[in-house]
Amino acid sequence: MTTWLDILFQVLILFFSVVLHEVAHGYAALTLGDPTARDAGRLTLNPIKHMDPWGTVVLPLFLILIRSPFLVGWAKPVPVNPYLMRDPKRGMMLVGAAGPLANISLILLSAIALRALPFSAPPLLFDLFKFCCAINIILALFNLVPVPPLDGSKVVAGLLPPKLRDAYVGLERYGIFLIIGLLYLGLLDQVIIPLYRVIFYLLVQA
């Protein structure tokens, strides 16, 4: 049975994870020659700088209230200018991949911490790392879906020829509606949830 403490843990972990996700985008852009996120003061773990009313507050609370099988959200995207990068096409692919890689890093660190905890450790510590694993698996999988503006689309766009890339990137203006439609139809659930269960089992329960 989910308690209010469980919900608090999940919300705090989600906030931290989506903030780290965005900071990773900004640092990746900076290493590739684009200081836009740094100059905007977004290379910080201060959650206030990254709060998005819908993605960081409304959506997670809505998913909790409807007892959704998974919890997702997003922070305010960091500003990126690909034209300041040494190789804009390759740069955007790397910047796009940086966010999910940050989540994957949290997954692996949490799984290692779980394995290292002694049996005498407080149950809250086990719950903390399990929630961190679970939430970041969902975030990584969700963001890798190749629907603009999700991160997976940045990687796919870099692999397409120019004409197809322009048309594909143009879908971004309808991206939020596409994502809501896929969620409503349960199509994302059918892909994300089975993958999540396999990964969570292998890392946490096996």
Q: What is the DSSP letter of 201?
A: I
Q: Determine the Cα–Cα distance for residues 161 and 44; give it in Å rounded to an integer.
A: 35
> In the structure, how many helices (H) and strands (E) does the chain have?
9, 0
Q: Determine the Cα–Cα distance for residues 17 and 23; give it in Å rounded to an integer.
A: 10
172 a catalytic residue: no
Q: Are 143 and 100 in contact (CB under 8 A)?
A: yes
Q: What is the DSSP letter of 67?
A: T
Active-site annotation holder among 18, 19, 22, 55: 22
Q: Are 192 and 142 in contact (CB under 8 A)?
A: yes
Q: Are 85 and 34 in contact (CB under 8 A)?
A: yes
Q: What is the CA radius of gyration of the chain?
A: 17
77 burial class (0-12, 13-18, 19+ CB within 10 angstroms)?
A: middle
- Kindly report the number of other CB atoms within 10 A of residue 16's CB atom: 16
Active site residues: 22
